[in-house]
Amino acid sequence: MRVMRLLTDNFYLSDEAGPESVIAECDAIILASVSRECIGFGILAPSKTGENAMKELAYLVVQDNFRGKGIGSSILSACESATRRLGASKLTLLAVDGDCARLYRRHGYGSTAGDNLRYDTEATRLTKNLYS
């Protein structure tokens, strides 16, 4: 599977369960491609809280040489649309660095209670109400 190869070969993942389990449990995979080559993707998963009205953006990844061209924003918008189609009204995610947090905040994501969590790096939980 092309997404699996992209996940395991080119990107650092701190999820101990591994990307295979995320893909097995996902609600949707959004792919961005150029000339049939995958250049980025987003993976939507059920909320870890079990809340049906919320989905989790488990991964949003864009290859380095395609960053800064609106690909991440396009994938994020497609993930939001997919979240609505799945019947959820909120999308939550972890921003693992400042660049990620800026992208998400530009798109209306905000901090929630207990937003600074410790993983392998400092991460900020951000959430967006998709029907506001």
Domain ranges in the chain are 2-129
The better pLDDT of the pair 60, 15 is held by 60
Give the CATH H-level superfamily of domain 2-129.
Answer: Gcn5-related N-acetyltransferase (GNAT) (3.40.630.30)
Residues 6+ apart with CB under 8 A from 43: 22, 23, 26, 28, 29, 30, 57, 58, 59, 60
| 125, 94 contact by CB (below 8 A) | yes
* pLDDT 10s digits, 24-34: 678 888 889 88
Please give the pLDDT value at position 4.
38
- pLDDT the model gives residue 14: 43
* Residue 92 confidence (pLDDT) above 90: yes
CA-CA distance, 73 to 105, in Å (whole number)?
11
pTM of the model: 0.78
Q: What is d(CA 101, CA 53) in angstroms, rounded to the nearest whole number?
A: 23
